[in-house]
Amino acid sequence: MLVALLVGLIVAAGVWLHDRRQRDRQLQLAQEQSFSQLRFPTYGQRLTGAEVTVIRRDQCPPPAPVLPAAQAAAQASWWYCVGPRRTCYMAVALCERQWLRWQVRWVVRPLDEQHMRQALDGDDEALWLAFGEVGERGLQL
């Protein structure tokens, strides 16, 4: 009886882990698809997510206190991006699970170079990708 219970727990844990990985893959795919069609605020030109370079992605709990639009979000991630002529952006993906698929809403804000550097501080690889420079410690890849 104890063996059957233990086997049942192992099977349940395996099913849960598989479901979790599947959800993570679905979320990543939904974010990437919606990001490529996203419009970025620019001066005089149309810029989409497919035309910017994502420098870093940070997963975090939903930023409900910061962004009122995020109150219903189940998960959020912050994407730091660089466009043509070193234009910098922060795109926040607000993700909500709806039945069997993810609904992704975006909040996009332009960042000046100083704020982008602050956001990437301590991440030498991201600084190098964004500005062609490294932090005080040098590039640690």
| Residue 125 φ then ψ, to 5° | -65, -45
Query: Token pair of 77, please?
Result: 């991630």
Residue extents of the structural domains in the chain: 1-131
Is 85 within 8 Å of 93 (Cβ atoms)? no
- Tens of pLDDT, residue by residue, the chain (141 residues): 777 666 666 766 565 555 567 777 888 888 888 898 888 887 777 788 888 899 999 887 655 445 555 555 577 889 999 988 888 999 998 888 777 788 888 999 999 999 999 999 888 889 988 888 665 555 444
Q: Output the CA torsion sign for 12, 13, 15, 16.
A: positive
Query: Token pair of 52, please?
Result: 């910017």
pLDDT, tens only, 76-116: 889 999 988 888 999 998 888 777 788 888 999 999 999 99
Distance between CA 56 and CA 125 in Å, rounded? 9
To the nearest 10°, the Cα dihedral for 72, 53, 41, 119? 70
| Residue 123 φ then ψ, to 5° | -110, 90
- Total residue length of the chain: 141
Distance between CA 37 and CA 32 in Å, rounded? 9
Does the reported pTM lie above 0.75? no
Q: What is the DSSP letter of 110?
A: E
Distances (CA, A) of 53 to 43, 49, 81, 123: 18, 8, 5, 16
